[in-house]
């Protein structure tokens, strides 16, 4: 059974800082993994869907990496801004068949002006 862990649970940084959010998963038989952002009381926004063959994917100030061998993914946010404040969730396939995702508990990020 897939288990996804995100560290840290909460993070508070000053504006402009570069930061790394961590996600680890137990079942490495995955092809890809997805990072989401969620603002309070809102739906999830897909940030990056990273394939195991890519190892890294970039979108603007965001860069995600995926290392199946170590069971880890990281989301790097460059030059953080107050508008980046949100909860960041990673999600991996729950199983080898079906349409289930296993979500981590999320990292709540606060970027202070």
Which parts of this chain interact with other proteins (CB under 8 A)?
Answer: 29-34, 36, 41-46, 49, 89, 91-93, 95-101, 103-106
Nearer residue to other proteins within complex by CB, 68 or 76:
68
Cis peptide leading into residue 26 (ω within 30°): no
- Are the C-beta atoms of 2 and 94 separated by less than 8 Å? yes
Nearer residue to other proteins within complex by CB, 69 or 97:
97
Nearer residue to other proteins within complex by CB, 1 or 14:
1
Cα 30 to Cα 37: distance, rounded to the nearest angstrom: 21
């Amino acid at each position: 059974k897939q288990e996804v862990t995100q560290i840290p649970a909460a993070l508070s940084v000053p504006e402009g800082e570069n930061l790394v959010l961590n996600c680890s998963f137990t079942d490495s038989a995955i092809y890809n993994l997805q990072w989401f952002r969620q603002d309070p009381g809102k739906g999830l926004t897909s940030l990056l869907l990273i394939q195991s063959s890519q190892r890294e994917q970039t979108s603007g100030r965001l860069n995600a990496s995926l290392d199946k061998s170590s069971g880890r993914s990281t989301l790097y946010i460059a030059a953080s801004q107050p508008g980046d404040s949100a909860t960041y969730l990673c999600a991996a396939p729950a199983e080898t068949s079906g349409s289930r995702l296993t979500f981590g508990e999320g990292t709540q990020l606060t970027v202070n002006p």
